[in-house]
Chains A and B, each alone.
Chain A
Amino acid sequence: GDSVTQMEGPVTLSEEAFLTINCTYTATGYPSLFWYVQYPGEGLQLLLKATKADDKGSNKGFEATYRKETTSFHLEKGSVQVSDSAVYFCALISGYSTLTFGKGTMLLVSP
């Protein structure tokens, strides 16, 4: 079945550092890929998505590129802020199946 593997957290960074959160997937067919973010005490919000190979999703300074050859969708940001502290979930959906989430990666950014 479909699965998503994310790097274990927490990821601890200083403000303005570069962020990478790795995400790889296993899926049948050609899935759509997502990054959702969960701020403390809140529900998940869509951060960005990509629906086909080589697409780049971007939002709020975050980017991720759909790499079919490496089955990856790594999340990057050039300069993190304290307000980016949250849990980040990589997810996929293939065909009309259900959304499959990774286990989440907590990001902690200190001033």
Chain B
Amino acid sequence: EAQVTQNPRYLITVTGKKLTVTCSQNMNHEYMSWYRQDPGLGLRQIYYSMNVEVTDKGDVPEGYKVSRKEKRNFPLILESPSPNQTSLYFCASSPIADPRDTQYFGPGTRLTVL
């Protein structure tokens, strides 16, 4: 089944403890992206990647890192999480390196930082 998967789906952690949220897609998509969703703010883009080894900042990149070593994977790294990063995170991908194309979203990762 064609899909975007994220792990973990739920995570509770403490301030300063490094964590990684994985994202994987099995559709050979070129474009991948991370968003955070917060009440009253909608979705905001954190980072995106047009292709392997090509990443760029979105609207809210502070406190996050990403890497794109393989086409299918796009992990989101929080090196020193803080409570203001408590949010619902979505990974998305699209077939071509054009963000105007339809994006396919993963199921989300709910992160709580205490």
Contact = CB atoms under 8 A, between A and B. Distances in A.
What band does the interface of chain A fall in when counting residues whose beta carbon is under 8 Å from B? 20 to 34
B73 interface: no
A44 B105 contact: yes
Given A44-B105, A99-B103, A89 B4 contact: no
Contacts of B92: 43-44
Contacts of B42: 89, 101-104
Contacts of B104: 46
A98 B98 contact: no
A101 B43 contact: yes
Nearest to B108: A43
A59 to B, nearest CB: 11
Interface of B: 4, 33, 40-45, 48, 58-59, 90, 92, 98-100, 102-108
Interface of A: 32, 36, 41-46, 49, 51, 89, 93, 96-99, 101-104
The 4 closest A-B pairs by CB, nearest first: A43-B105, A103-B42, A101-B42, A101-B43
